Amino acid sequence: MTTNSEVVTLRGRGLGGGIAEGEALVTKQFFGFTHGVIPATGEISDERHEWRGLNLKGKIIVFPKGKSSSSGGVWILETARCENLPAAIVNVEAEAITGSGCIFARLLYNKKIPLVDRLDQDPCDVIRTGDIVRVDGDAGVVEILKRVGGSRPA
């Protein structure tokens, strides 16, 4: 992790191309799209998740790893079709289901969801909910542009 002025930069592995900027939504819980998101609205519906009732549309979602059945990629694809995707995904370690959903969304609907993992610091510890973050899925870089006083994950 490097700090330049007030920008905090994390470097890792870029998996999903493109660049996105937005407000971070951070959890230390695993997260899955299958039965966890309502594609038509982007609302998080998983009753066991702390994000329940929040909306992921346009957010930079930060979580350790995906949890899902093999249909998770299809749920991401349906969320893309309904135009309710997160702006980007940042993981400690991405798994194939989330990655395939990002690829499907790009191939079928031309929706880029930058995906970055294996960062030099745990993003769930460094990024806070409410921070303004830029994710470069080509370079594998995550920048915290502005701290807005959000809470640290539990």
Catalytic residues, by residue number, are 69
- d(CA 63, CA 66) in angstroms, rounded, equals 8
Helix axes 72-81, 96-109, angle to 10 degrees: 30
Torsion over CA: 56, 62, 63, 65 (sign): positive
Do 49 and 40 touch, CB atoms closer than 8 A? no
Dist. CA 2–CA 88, nearest whole Å: 21
Alpha carbon distance 91, 62 (integer Å): 6
| DSSP label of 146 | E
CA dihedral (2, 61, 47, 35) positive or negative? negative
